[in-house]
Chains A and B, each alone.
Chain A
Amino acid sequence: MTIDECIRDDLTTVALTGRLDSMTAPEVEQRLLARATVASVNLVLDLSGLDYISSAGLRVILMVAKRTKAAQGQLVLCGMNQQISTIFEVSGFLTILRVVERCADALPAAGSA
């Protein structure tokens, strides 16, 4: 699991590459929550490099979403592959999170919110 962070203007992009499972979830949780709690953050999670996610990973995403919302910020997820999308679908997350297909679309989406 690699975590790439890029902060540009008021937009924070975090790209996750590899597997987000019960082994890697604690580290990702720590890193992402640090970003999510910044007031009015516009956070984009680039998941195009993510191969695998389990419920431990979903739990991290959900926590990040909650923190962002509490901090009056915006969270956009982008670039899921089909497997990841399926998992998000069966867990019902697609309905409560803002998800765009291509990360290029995510930037204006996050900024416009």
Chain B
Amino acid sequence: MKDRPPRGELFAFRHSIRTRMLLWTVGVTGLLLIAVVVWNYVTVRDQLKVEARNRAAFLAAGSADKIDAKLGPMQGLVQGIALTLQAQALDVPFERLRVLQDAALRDYPEIYGTAVALLPAKRPAAWPDAAPYAYRERDALGYQNLDEADHRYLGEDWFALPRYLDRGIWSEPYRWSNGVKMVTYSMPIQVPTPTGPVFAGVVTCDIDLDWLDRTLADLPLGQRGYALLMTRNGTYISHPLKELVLTESVFSIAEARGSESLREAGQRMVSGSPGLIPWVSWTTAEDAWLAWQPLKTADWTMATVIPQAELRTEILRLSRNEALVGATGLVVLTLAVWLIARSITRPVGALSAAAATLATGDLDAALPRPRGSDEIAQLTAAFGAMRDNLKRHIADMAVTTAARERMQSELRIAHNIQMDLVPKTFPIIPARTDLDLFALMAPAREVGGDFYDFFFLDHDRLVVAIGDVSGKGIPAALFMAVTRSFFRSAFKADPDPGRALARVSDDLSEGNESCMFATLFCAVVRLAEGTVDFANAGHNAPLLVHNDGRMEWISSPHGTAAAILPGAVYESGRLTLAAGDALLLYTDGVTEAMDPERRQYGEEQLASRMDSYRALACRECLDALAGDIRAHAAGAEQSDDITMLMLRRLVTSAADVSRDDESSLQLEIANHQEGLASALKRLDSFLATAASPPTLPYVPRLVLEELVTNIIKYGYPDDDVHGIHVVFRTGPPATMTIEDDGQPFNPLLDAPAPNLDAVTEERPIGGLGLHMVRTITASLNYRREGRINRLSIVFPLAASLLPPVAVAADKHPRPAP
């Protein structure tokens, strides 16, 4: 049973198909068989009862016949001798008589003895005895004269009864003088005389009762059945209980027991007609049939007692045979079912084991080889096909998944790249007090086709732009990237919005096989005056929010979308931003944002929200707006990219724009060497003209050089141009703040202190600058604010910057070169 799962035997017993088949078929068949046997037994039992009764009667009759058959010839013998003597008128020589008697004993082994007993007066003269008797004495024959002195034999039953009844007659059983129990048949001899036949004597033959007992015992009555013989008087001639013979009769026993039923039975038995009654065996005390039959030869009754159980053995034997045949059949059936079940379950078991292996993920596990073309073989074949399909499917899926993961990873990178394409450092750098600007972009997918941009053409002129490329996803994103770069270069060539748009459109439409297009809006804001020159290529009308709450859609002039046709012309418009006025640029992802019922956010709602958010700064305003759009969508999938750019002009005074005065210096430093050089130059000249030197002049210079060098070298992983914003104030105490949008870097923590005690060869080159900065400043304070590193420096007063002791001891004059 190696194919059986390694569970407990009981578990397998209950769960194996084979066992269930066996249990069901064998169980049901067995039950049927038992039912048939029982039903058979019950229906045949009654019939067999009658049968048994008949059988009992038959046995009794048969037994009687057998005894008759024994007794008949004896009677014939006796009659023959009597007739011979009669015919010869007793004139038979004695020797001749002896020969007859010897022949009788020789020929009839059942005869114990035979005699011819004559009246003494009738004895022929030649006979020495009146009553010669021949009998068996062990293996020889014995002879005796029954006529003794007193002629007592004349009174014996066996002589007197035939004499007077004048017919052959069987005596009652008696015990002879030598102790042998016997019965005697006597036949009268009537000698003919002229006056008629005259009784002369009798011929007898004796039967040993032991012989009768043996004969009865040989009757086929079964183990516990027995036979008995009784006379017409009810006296027992033969009975298994020997003590009853001669001494008791059925009536004496009935009397002794006070048994009416026995007496009745006795009466019926001696009545001379056959009969049968239920009986309780005396020998075995069980229910029996008592059947009797009068003998034809003697006036005796033959009776048989056969236990009903003995008779019932037949039924039982029948039923047992039936059960035996059934059980044999059952065993054969069990074997057959087991074989069939095994032929089914073995491949199923093997298949199940293979399936279990398969389920663990081992798809290369071998399947059992299907044999034949039965259902199991078909199942195995189908299973194999499934396995192969599964393998192929998994392989396909692995490839697909890998491709999708690669795609997703690329999309993630693309998303990052796209987000890096738009300026997203807020507050903007350089920091301005006359401008609040914020923008946000949320692509519907990983990447989108929206973009915004802003940059300064110079200190006063700010370019802002927003665009929306047709379509979504990767194609839109690629087109968006192209658009943005065309856009920047177009503005560098010519800062007129209309002409810039025309140029972008021409650039885009060139080789635009995929017929994509973009809506664009761009504007040049002169912050000092507040004038805004703008042009629109098919884009949503921006919303102008006046500081007094009026709303104005900037819908004209309005041209066609860019990249559709080369040679498009865009008209520039102009508007003026008063102090506090704000301009909101957005893409249609805002106004067309849909809720689950596909209702759009709409321009009215946009305007009304802008009205309520009017007091908020640009960042807070756009955040609130984005939240409101999300609330409107209520979980509905974002259908389009959402991009918004908002700017507000804060001041108009030209004096406020330039904040450099005698006590402070603002520096916008580009992240390259030249930017640093010019900044240092400006710091030098500022320090040179400062009213009173706030600190030793070389200290701020050193700090600026070291820190900005560090930012330029390590702050930016990209190659873009970044601005570093520095404010120096003379104080006192003199302070400097440095702001950059580079990678987070805390010079107080992130730079290792150089090992100042190392010898020359081991001294690492570098790391010194930050150490010097830390050493020569009074305090350094670093904060990361959003995407901005902000470093605040406080310089020591000039007086505290005394030279170190070693050198200070020698206040040398500058030596001549």
Contact = CB atoms under 8 A, between A and B. Distances in A.
Interface of A: 4, 15, 17, 21-23, 46, 48-49, 51-52, 54-56, 58-59, 62-63, 65-66, 69, 79-83, 85-87, 89-92, 94-97, 101-103
Given A59-B768, A62-B760, A90 B814 contact: no
Contact of B768 (A23, A46, A48, A91): A91
Contacts of B754: 91-92
B665 interface: no
A52 B814 contact: no
11 contacts: A4-B817, A21-B680, A22-B673, A52-B698, A54-B702, A54-B705, A90-B776, A91-B772, A92-B757, A94-B806, A96-B758
B765 A63 contact: yes
A21 B769 CA distance: 11
B768 A22 contact: no
B676 A22 contact: yes
Interface in B747-769: 754, 756-761, 763, 765-766, 768-769
Contacts of B807: 80, 82, 85-86, 89, 94
B528 interface: no
Q: Which of A55, A65, A80, A92 has the most CB of B within 10 A?
A: A55
A46 B760 contact: no
A102 B757 contact: no
Given A15-B817, A52-B701, A55-B772, A96 B759 contact: yes
B803 A85 contact: yes
A89 B804 contact: yes
Q: Which of A48, A79, A80, A86 has the most CB of B within 10 A?
A: A86
B716 to A, nearest CB: 17
B709 A56 contact: yes
B756 A59 contact: no
Contact of A54 (B757, B765, B769, B771): B769
A92 B735 CA distance: 26
Contact of A90 (B680, B696, B701, B804): B804
A4 B702 CA distance: 24
B706 interface: yes
Interface residues of B, number: 40
Interface of B: 673, 676-677, 680, 696, 698, 701-702, 705-706, 709, 754, 756-761, 763, 765-766, 768-769, 771-772, 775-776, 801, 803-804, 806-808, 810-812, 814-817
Contacts of A54: 702, 705-706, 769, 772
A22 B705 contact: yes
B760 A65 contact: yes
The 3 lowest CB-CB distance pairs between A and B, nearest first, are A92-B756, A55-B769, A85-B807
Contacts of A95: 756-757
Nearest to A91: B768
B702 A69 contact: no
Contact of A59 (B760, B765, B804, B814): B765
Nearest to B774: A90
Contacts of B701: 52
A85 B769 CA distance: 15
B58 to A, nearest CB: 143
Contacts of A58: 768
B768 A85 contact: no
A85 B804 contact: yes
A86 B696 CA distance: 12
Contacts of B756: 91-92, 95
A82 B812 CA distance: 8
B688 to A, nearest CB: 13
A48 B760 contact: no
Contact of A69 (B709, B761, B769, B816): B761
A95 B758 CA distance: 9
A96 B763 contact: yes
A59 B759 CA distance: 14
Contact of B765 (A62, A89, A103): A62
A89 B809 CA distance: 13
B168 to A, nearest CB: 169
B815 A102 contact: yes
A83 B696 contact: yes
B768 A86 contact: no
A55 B773 CA distance: 10
B709 A22 contact: yes
Contacts of A79: 814-815
A40 B673 CA distance: 36
A87 B817 contact: no
A86 B757 contact: no
A54 to B, nearest CB: 5
A105 to B, nearest CB: 10
B613 to A, nearest CB: 47
Nearest to B696: A83
Nearest to A58: B768
Contacts of B673: 22-23
Q: Which of B701, B763, B808 has the most CB of A within 10 A?
A: B763
Given A90-B772, A91-B768, A91-B772, A101 B761 contact: no
A83 B772 CA distance: 13
A15 B776 CA distance: 26
